[in-house]
Structures are given as C-alpha cells and as structure tokens.
Amino acid sequence: MRIPIDKIGFDGLDVNEVLEKAWLTEALGANAPFAPAKDGRLDVHLTRADEAVHVSGRARISLEAACSRCLAPVPVALDTPISVTLFPKGSEPEPGEDGELDPDDLGVGTYEDDEIDLSAVVHDEVFLELPMSPICSESCAGLCPTCGKDLNTGPCGCAQATDDRWQALKRIKLKDS
C-alpha cells in the first residue's frame, strides 16, 4: 500500500482498501497471539501541506485470540481511528531534552523516497489498539491450576493445591468497626 505523494491532489486522496487476511497475518507476525478472522477494511483520507502528509480515517479489523484465562477463542473487533502526520525522513519534529516527544508531536511518522507506506501506518495504529489480555467475559473463571479443567463448565473436583504461605490469613479474625 504505497502511495506516491504526487498522487495526493489539492483536494487530497481517498484510499479505500481491503486488508486481506494474508496481509493481516503477515503484519501481525507469525507468532502473534492474534489471528485475523476475515479480511479487514482501511478507509483513510490523505491531505498534503507542502511536504507533510496527514492521514486520517479508520481501520476495521476482526481478529481472534485465546482468552487469557480459559484459552477459549475470543473475537476481537477493532475499529481503529487513524490520525497521523507524516514528514520526510529527517525533517520530523525533534524530541525534547528528556528524549520524549512533545504531546503535540504524538501521531507523527516519516516517509521516504516521496512515497507513503500505508502498511506501516496501519500496522502501528492497530498494534496500539490490541488488548493486552483478551478475555471471553469478565466472569470467566479460567482454568484449574492443578488439573487444567475449564472452570466455566463447572468445578473440577480435584484437590486444589494451596500455598501454605497463605494459611496464616485464614486465622485472622476481624473485629466489626
């Protein structure tokens, strides 16, 4: 998804692309905990002000992941807003004295050879939206740490091991205040 900047006219340029499952799989990485459930969609508008190019729009992607508690498949639907300003490599805003970008400079990227790589923009923006620990539901009971049974289907019946270090807490008597 490379766009030469000279294709961006006075009124800008609309880019409406299908994000194919194969491309999404490659963009997420071979060992990623997320897998595309189907093709996604990219709808962005590019505008140009001198050498700076502003990209705004949305990426809509349907992914699947394993629940971080019970390992059941979890659908993850992302409707990711995209708002990035791209500068020619070497002319982007400089970080401050502390090495951090000013909050006004967040959402800044670069391009090279008078060509915008929308793949990199989509990749970065989608990764920022991925949940760290997807779960199938807030009430998910997870797996038994002893036998591995899915506790959402009922108790496992095994003698769950307890850590002796916690036994002292059972003997604490709290007074009503």
What is the predicted pLDDT for the residue at 31? 83
Same domain, 54 and 127: yes
Are 85 and 104 in contact, with CB atoms under 8 Å apart? no
Check whether 159 has a pLDDT greater than 70. no
Same domain, 86 and 145: no
What is the predicted pLDDT for the residue at 172? 85
Same domain, 110 and 150: no
Range of the domain at 151: 141-177
Give the burial class of 120: count Cβ atoms within 10 A of its Cβ; 0-12 exposed, 13-18 middle, 19 or more buried.
Answer: middle
How large is the average pLDDT for residues 120-140?
A: 89
Pair of tokens at residue 6: 């000279």
Same domain, 134 and 176: no
pLDDT tens track for 13-71? 999 999 999 988 888 887 888 999 999 999 999 999 888 899 999 999 999 999 999 99
Number of domain units in the chain: 2
pTM over 0.85: no
Same domain, 121 and 148: no
Same domain, 155 and 171: yes
Q: Mapping DSSP to helix (H, G, I), strand (E, B) and coil, where does residue 169 land?
A: helix
Confidence of residue 111 (pLDDT cuts 50, 70, 90): confident
Same domain, 19 and 50: yes
Measure the CA–CA gap between 42 and 60, rounded to whole angstroms: 6
